[in-house]
């Protein structure tokens, strides 16, 4: 895009802004929920630091309060978070040789961070490890800050943030359009529409994303197999 | 409901379990392919996954919409349409995202779509 010298931190702040507008209000809601259940505010912040997964945290707290057993919690978490494994599969080479920061990038990978680092190019003359670390670190910071705000000031703030989380939906819409423009093949989008609709209709809301990713991956692999069998060079 | 019977030991355990499992699912592919050779099909995944997942995340965001009830997911669909049009027209990511979000916040907080829909149904 712009060919001028870009400061990697400023660029990271710029591209993570929509995530900030999503994470802070959802973090506030999480912090509020945990203190509402009567836990010390520190637990919500601690959880946001070490877990850093919105859906998992909300459901873990809900399960804990409903008195669910350890096995139920383990299985629910496992299925809920298995999508992260799929994200990692497509990042193996991107994160290769990235240095010591790799462990942090892997352990703090969220849906939104994945979308940002696969949807944006690393600015020129900036090391990818530094840029990815800024993006991941900023997203993490927004989440923890939001949680602390909700836990400490939630009742005082009384802000009307209804609907602000739509910025995450809008971010994914924008990044999908960008991906579509630069795409060499349209099939991933067709696979997403088919598997997305099937999963929305037939999978429970907790497993919708995982189910759609599994169906979509299957479609991608089958399509590749058929295409390679018929023609060897299609682009 | 306030859960007074959930002691602080329990919440610590919940945090530990959630953290460990989340870390495990994130690290799994990297641990698995640390020494193993990557199979051919991973190339397809590496190439096509970001595009597919991006669009699936849009679907995922729409997952909590109740399509059978007024306003039938119309605020979400309208705002996605605005974001997409604006982005195709201007190509400015932040402009598209913030405009869509502001309109969505207006829709949800004013309930205008619900009001309009019930008016239309009455006529």
Dump pLDDT digits (tens) for A136-173. 999 999 999 999 999 998 767 666 778 888 999 999 99
Q: Is residue B3 part of a domain?
A: no
Q: Is the pLDDT of residue A208 over 60?
A: yes
Report the chain A residue with the minimal C-alpha distance to residue B45. A90
Cross-chain residue pair B53–A213, CB shorter than 8 Å:
yes
| pLDDT tens-place string over residues B63-97 | 889 888 889 999 999 999 999 999 999 999 999 99
Q: How confident is the model at residue B6 (pLDDT cuts 50, 70, 90)?
A: low
Closest to B50 measured CA to CA, from A97, A89, A134 = A89
Cross-chain residue pair B15–A47, CB shorter than 8 Å:
yes
* Helix B74-90, helix B112-122: angle, nearest 10: 120
- The percentage of residues in chain A with a pLDDT greater than 70, rounded to a whole number, is 93
Cross-chain residue pair B59–A199, CB shorter than 8 Å:
yes
A153 has a chain B CB within 8 A of its CB = no
B59 has a chain A CB within 8 A of its CB = yes
User: Closest Cα of chain A to B47: distance in Å?
Assistant: 8
Q: How confident is the model at residue A33 (pLDDT cuts 50, 70, 90)?
A: confident
Q: Average pLDDT for residues B35-58, to the nearest whole number?
A: 91
Task: Look up residue A77 and give its two tokens.
Answer: 């978490």
DSSP A164: T
- The percentage of residues in chain A with a pLDDT greater than 90, rounded to a whole number, is 63
Domain holding B102, by residue range, is 8-122
Cross-chain residue pair A200–B63, CB shorter than 8 Å:
yes
Helix (H) or strand (E) segment spanning residue A46:
helix A41-50
Tokens 């804990």 belong to residue: A64
Task: Look up residue A90 and give its two tokens.
Answer: 């497509």
Q: Is the pLDDT of residue A230 over 70?
A: no
Of A84, A95, A115, the CB nearest to B25: A84
Task: Look up residue A21 and give its two tokens.
Answer: 């507008």
- Taken in order B19, B25, B30, B35, is the CA torsion positive or negative? positive
* Helix A8-36, helix A41-50: angle, nearest 10: 140
Residues of B with Cβ-Cβ distance to A116 under 8 angstroms? none
Cross-chain residue pair B25–A177, CB shorter than 8 Å:
no
Q: How many Cα neighbours within 13 Å face the side chain of B111?
A: 5
CB B90, CB A152: distance < 8 Å: no
A216 has a chain B CB within 8 A of its CB = yes
Q: What is the pLDDT of residue A229?
A: 66
Q: What is the pLDDT of residue A234?
A: 46
Closest to A169 measured CA to CA, from B10, B60, B47, B18 = B60
Q: Is residue B2 part of a domain?
A: no
Q: Is residue A18 packed enough to be buried (19+ CB in 10 Å), middle (13-18) or exposed (0-12)?
A: buried
- How many domains in chain B? 1
A33 has a chain B CB within 8 A of its CB = no
| pLDDT tens-place string over residues A95-134 | 988 888 999 999 999 999 999 999 999 998 889 999 999 9
User: Closest Cα of chain B to A125: distance in Å?
Assistant: 23
Integer-rounded Cα Rg, in Å, for chain A is 19
Mean pLDDT of chain A: 89
Q: Is residue B1 part of a domain?
A: no
Task: Look up residue A165 and give its two tokens.
Answer: 């989380």
Alpha carbon distance A124, B62 (integer Å): 35
Domain ranges of chain A: 8-164, 183-235
B57 has a chain A CB within 8 A of its CB = yes
B118, B120, B122, B123: CA torsion to nearest 10:
170
Task: Look up residue B51 and give its two tokens.
Answer: 């595009």
């Amino acid at each position: 895009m712009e060919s001028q010298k870009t400061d990697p931190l400023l660029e990271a702040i710029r591209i993570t802004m929509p995530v900030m507008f999503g994470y802070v209000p959802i973090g506030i809601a999480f912090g509020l929920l945990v203190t509402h259940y009567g836990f010390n505010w520190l637990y919500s912040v601690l959880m946001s630091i070490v877990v850093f997964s919105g859906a998992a945290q909300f459901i873990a707290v809900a399960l804990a309060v409903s008195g669910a057993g350890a096995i139920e919690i383990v299985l629910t978490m496992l299925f809920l978070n298995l999508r992260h494994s799929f994200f990692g599969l497509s990042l193996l080479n991107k994160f290769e040789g990235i240095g010591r920061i790799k462990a942090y990038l892997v352990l703090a990978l969220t849906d939104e961070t994945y979308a940002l680092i696969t949807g944006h190019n690393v600015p020129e003359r900036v090391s990818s490890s530094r840029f990815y670390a800024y993006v991941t670190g900023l997203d993490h910071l927004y989440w923890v800050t939001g949680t602390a705000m909700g836990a400490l000031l939630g009742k005082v703030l009384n802000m009307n943030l209804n609907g602000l989380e739509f910025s995450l939906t809008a971010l994914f819409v924008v990044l999908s359009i960008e991906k579509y423009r630069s795409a060499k093949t349209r099939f991933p989008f067709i696979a997403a529409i088919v598997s997305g609709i099937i999963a929305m209709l037939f999978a429970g809301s907790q497993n919708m994303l995982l189910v759609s990713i599994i169906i979509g991956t299957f479609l991608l692999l089958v399509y590749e197999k058929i295409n390679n069998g018929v023609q060897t060079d299609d682009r | 409901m306030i859960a007074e019977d959930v002691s602080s030991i329990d919440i610590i355990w919940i945090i530990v379990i959630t953290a460990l499992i989340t870390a495990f699912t994130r690290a799994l592919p990297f641990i698995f392919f640390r020494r193993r050779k990557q199979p051919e099909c991973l190339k397809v995944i590496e190439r096509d996954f970001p595009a597919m997942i991006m669009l699936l995340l849009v679907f995922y965001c729409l997952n909590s919409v109740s399509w059978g009830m007024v306003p039938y997911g119309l605020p979400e669909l309208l705002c996605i349409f605005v974001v997409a049009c604006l982005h195709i027209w201007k190509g400015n990511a932040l402009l598209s995202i913030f405009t869509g979000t502001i309109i969505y916040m207006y829709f949800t907080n004013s309930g205008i779509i619900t009001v309009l829909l019930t008016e239309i149904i009455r006529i």
